[in-house]
């Protein structure tokens, strides 16, 4: 059976370059499973593949949407699975890589059928959030779906707002739509997770943020600042610099917060991924060479001898 190779891991671990090397070895395309790299104009903060990297291997789902465009994990599931099935007609292996947990689960396991939110309703909920704040959204969610209210991170505006939108759109509690049943796929799935020792990973994250600043992250964020209320820009790297632009902190403080929040996100990713027993883990701190061949051999021992 043809195979989807899933290369995952926390931010800053080194997925991009390894994915390129494996794709070049197998002569196959790469699908990004990153919920922010899918947007245009957001290349530096999201560590999107560079133009040079994009020339090395065909990529999909990189820089295809405007920051204003609505796109959900459910839409990604439909689009990505359809594309994977089509690509597997001409490639024995297709790679997807990224750190967005929901996007990876959407492709590998499927997600529940959640109704698409129409623009009018989305605007009404956003206006409520803008006018009365997150407390008003929480209060309505508590009435419409007390079950999910007690489960969701109430400090996360994105999650709370989305849950309320679904309740209003579906006319029933969001929690009643979440069955968590795994869907069958027409292709084999092999998952490989990259990890590093904590100190090394954190140092890499800190250094990557410094490189982002050097590469023009401040200028990129400034261009997007007028659109700061968009959900797509509720992203590490932008939200801290927006606070700096607002005069609420110094630039050094904002940069330190980007590093801190990136490290926190890496921990969150690892916590999520560690629950998945299907992942074959490779610690890149301990495996300095031969990683590509190790990955290839997990798909099919035949490849490793070629």
Q: Residue 97 — very low, low, confident or very high, per pLDDT cuts 50/70/90?
A: very high
How far CA 240 is from CA of 12, 260, 300, in Å, comes to 18, 11, 44
Higher per-residue pLDDT: 118 or 223? 223
In sequence order, the β-bridge partners of residue 124 are: none
The pLDDT of 133-146, averaged and rounded, is: 94
Residue 282 pLDDT > 80: yes
- pLDDT of 107 higher than 90: yes
Q: What is the mean pLDDT of residues 275-289?
A: 94
Mean pLDDT of all residues in 151-164:
88
Positive or negative CA dihedral for 296, 185, 95, 35? Answer: negative
CA atoms 107, 103, 204, 265: torsion sign: negative
Q: Is the pLDDT of residue 213 over 70?
A: yes
Domain with CATH 3.40.50.300 in the chain: 3-112+181-304
pLDDT of 1? 62
pLDDT in tens, 222-238: 999 999 989 899 999 99
CATH topology for 119-177?
Histone, subunit A (1.10.20)
Distance (Å) of CA 113 to CA 57, 134, 148: 33, 26, 16
User: Hey, what are 73's tokens?
Assistant: 């994990």
Nearest to 111, CA basis, from 171, 158, 178, 34: 178
Q: What is the mean pLDDT of residues 216-222?
A: 98
Domain with CATH 1.10.20.140 in the chain: 119-177
Extract the tokens encoding 65: 């949407």
Q: Which residue has the higher pLDDT, 9 or 70?
A: 9
**pLDDT digits 0-9 by tens, 23-79:** 999 999 999 999 999 999 999 999 999 999 999 999 999 999 999 998 888 899 999
Separation CA 271–CA 71 (nearest Å) = 25
- How much of the chain exceeds pLDDT 70, in percent? 97
pLDDT tens for each residue of 195-211: 999 999 999 999 999 99
Provide the mean pLDDT of the chain.
93
Which single residue is written with the structure tokens 């990004």? 32
What are the b/e assignments for 90-129, b being 16+ CB within 10 Å?
ebebbbbbbbbbebbbbbbbbbeebeebeeeebeebbeeb
Statement: residue 305 has pLDDT above 50: no
pTM greater than the 0.85 cutoff:
no
Q: Which of 265, 262, 299, 289 is nearest to 101 (CA)?
A: 265
**Nearest in space to 177 (alpha carbons), one of 114, 225, 100:** 114
pLDDT value at residue 301: 55
Quote the pLDDT of residue 303: 56
Per-residue pLDDT, 241: 98
Q: What is the pLDDT of residue 72?
A: 85
Strand partners, 280: 192
Query: 3-112+181-304 maps to which CATH number?
Result: 3.40.50.300
The pair of three-digit structure tokens given for residue 254, joined into one six-digit string: 């904002």
Residue 306 confidence (pLDDT) above 70 = no
């Amino acid at each position: 059976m043809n195979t989807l190779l899933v290369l995952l891991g926390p931010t800053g671990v080194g997925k991009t370059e390894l994915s390129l090397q494996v794709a070049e070895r197998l002569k196959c395309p790469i699908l990004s499973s990153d919920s922010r790299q899918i947007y245009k104009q957001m290349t530096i903060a999201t560590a999107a593949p560079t133009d040079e990297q994009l020339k090395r291997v065909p990529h999909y789902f990189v820089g295809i949407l405007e920051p204003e465009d609505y796109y959900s994990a459910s839409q990604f599931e439909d689009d990505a699975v359809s594309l994977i099935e089509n690509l597997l007609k001409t490639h024995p292996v297709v790679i997807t890589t990224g750190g967005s947990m929901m996007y990876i689960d959407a492709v590998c396991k499927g997600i529940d059928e959640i109704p698409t939110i129409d623009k009018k309703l989305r605007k009404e909920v956003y206006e409520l959030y803008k006018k009365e704040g997150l407390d008003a959204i929480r209060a309505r969610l508590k009435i419409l779906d007390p079950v999910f209210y007690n489960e969701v991170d109430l400090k996360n505006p994105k999650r709370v707002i989305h849950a309320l939108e679904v309740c209003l759109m579906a006319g029933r509690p969001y929690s009643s739509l979440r069955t968590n049943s795994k869907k069958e796929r027409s292709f084999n799935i092999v998952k490989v997770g990259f990890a590093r020792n904590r100190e090394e990973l954190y140092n890499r994250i800190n250094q990557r943020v410094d490189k982002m600043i050097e590469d023009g992250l401040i200028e990129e964020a400034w261009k997007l600042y007028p659109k700061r209320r968009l959900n797509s820009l509720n992203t590490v790297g932008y939200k801290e610099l927006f606070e700096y632009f607002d005069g609420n902190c110094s630039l050094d403080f904002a940069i330190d917060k980007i590093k801190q929040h990136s490290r926190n996100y890496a921990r969150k990713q690892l916590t999520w991924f560690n629950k998945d027993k299907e992942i074959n883990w490779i610690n890149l701190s301990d495996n300095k060479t031969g990683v590509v061949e190790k990955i290839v051999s997990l798909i099919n021992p035949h490849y490793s001898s070629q």
